[in-house]
Amino acid sequence: MSSGARHVTGNVVLARGIQLAALGVISMFLYVATRAAPESGGSVGTIASLGYILLAGTLVSELVAVVRLPHVTGYLLAGIVAGPHVAALIDERSVANLTTVNTLALSLIALEGGAHLRTSTLRQGWKSLSWATLFQSVFVLVCTTIVFLALRPYIPFARTLGGTAALGTALLWGTIAVTRSPSATLGILAETRASGPVMTSTLSLVMTSDVVVVVLLATVMVFARPMIDPTATFSLHDLGDLGHELLGSVALGTTLGIVLAAYTRFVRTQLLLVFLALGFGMSALVAYVRFDSLLAFMVAGFVVQNLSRQGEVFIQAIEETGSIVFVIFFATAGAHLDLGLLRRLWPVALTLAVTRAVITWLASRAAGRFAGDTPMVKRWGWAGLVSQAGLALGVAALIERAFPQLGSGFRALATATVALNEMVGPVLFKVALDRSGESSHTPRNTSPSLPSAETAAAEQDRPAGM
């Protein structure tokens, strides 16, 4: 090793050590402050918590990069450790308050995801997307339903259910298994700047899966309701609500996309403020009219990309705030993870998570063979479909409200299983992109403000005047 290389390596190690020390000092300060004044909550506590998870998530993401883990994993780890279930640097009230910020995060994630879907790419890969959607929906739904029924004796809330009720519950579980994580997919895309068939096929399938989940959930609930509740009758009313939700979301998203394209074309300034207004104000409107916010914002991004010439400018504007968005979203998600719950349910949750990953792999291989996908897609196309996050938890919460007979056990098991998928999925996807050669060799730094250690080292070695 040359002296210059050793010098750069030494600078990198020094920078990492400084980051670790800074994280320890800040964490200790916050620990003492929260114990000395535990009553200081409210808006002050929320602001302090927001600042801490931004800084801690950024520092931890730099540290885990040493062992080639994705930044998303660092954000999650920072949230888990700082959350109320471990170090309690952030209390439950602050976590709940920060969850409202995720409204902005989800809207930007959906906008960016829709803007990455180009009609030319979809036309070119329609056959692959069609087969993948079929297998990753129907095949995964059926197989995970069977697995849930096989594990029924080991699931506390399910072992007391009758045969018909257990089948209905298993179908609902299968619907949760079909959900993916657009946020994790875009987070890895932002970090790796990957391009190629694996990324394209994964992004297309993950972003369109929201529509599939909405349709599947409404359909399964129609059949599961009389199976779980003997007093309920079969009704197609839910399918009518589904049509209202889908058509309304697409119409609203199209209108919003046209407005955003016009604004980006003729004004273009203060786009961050526009995104803030959309993330909070428009999300509240979408919820009020009972439309699907993720679908509406995804359609809006799709319209800007494909019905105007402002797609690249639009994506660039979102990416300028994307790093902060991903830190807040995943660190808050990590703070939500109840490790005590996971410890109690881990055998069943781990079995469900592993079998879901295996079933996803089988579905990907079958779809790739029917569609004639490239060898890389056949080999690695499944890896980006393991992650789960907010959408899966939202579906679980909706099922809990719709079927109170299941109690809190269904949602608790879903939370534990999603936690495992949330931790492992991004790592698998990054490995897939690295192994397939699609990751950029100069990945964009997704930390909000900190330069990488390698960049800092290069700056120190740069001669004066350059």
> Among candidates 208, 190, 178, 209, which has minimal Cα distance to 72?
190
Q: Tell me how far apart the alpha carbons of residues 233 and 392 are, in angstroms, rounded to a whole number.
A: 27
Q: What is the pLDDT of residue 463?
A: 44
Say whether pLDDT at 457 is over 70.
no
Which domains are seen in the chain, by residue range? Answer: 101-435 (1.20.1530.20)
Q: Tell me how far apart the alpha carbons of residues 385 and 429 are, in angstroms, rounded to a whole number.
A: 8
With beta carbons less than 8 A apart as the criterion, state whether 52 and 89 touch. yes
Q: Tell me how far apart the alpha carbons of residues 306 and 308 are, in angstroms, rounded to a whole number.
A: 6
Q: What is the pLDDT of residue 322?
A: 61
With beta carbons less than 8 A apart as the criterion, state whether 46 and 55 touch. no
Report residue 382 as tokens.
Answer: 């499944």
Q: What is the pLDDT of residue 60?
A: 84
Say whether pLDDT at 295 is over 70.
yes
Say whether pLDDT at 300 is over 50.
yes
CA distances from 68 to 77, 192, 245, 363, 428 (A): 15, 11, 41, 28, 12
Say whether pLDDT at 289 is over 90.
no
Token pair 């291989």 is found at: 365
Degrees, nearest 5: CA angle 147-152-158: 125
More confident residue, 456 or 34: 34
Q: What is the pLDDT of residue 236?
A: 67
Mean pLDDT of the chain: 80
Say whether pLDDT at 353 is over 90.
yes
Lowest mean pLDDT among 51-60, 93-102, 167-176, 222-231: 93-102
Q: What is the pLDDT of residue 41?
A: 54
Per-position b or e across 251-261, b if 16+ CB within 10 A of its CB:
ebbbebbeebb
Per-position b or e across 140-165, b if 16+ CB within 10 A of its CB:
bbebbbebbbebbeebebbeebeeeb
Q: Tell me how far apart the alpha carbons of residues 365 and 373 are, in angstroms, rounded to a whole number.
A: 9
* Residues 165-213: tens digit of each pLDDT: 999 999 999 999 999 988 888 888 878 888 888 998 898 898 888 778 8
Q: State the pLDDT confidence band at 362, using cuts at 50, 70 and 90.
A: very high
> Among candidates 12, 310, 299, 33, which has minimal Cα distance to 4?
12
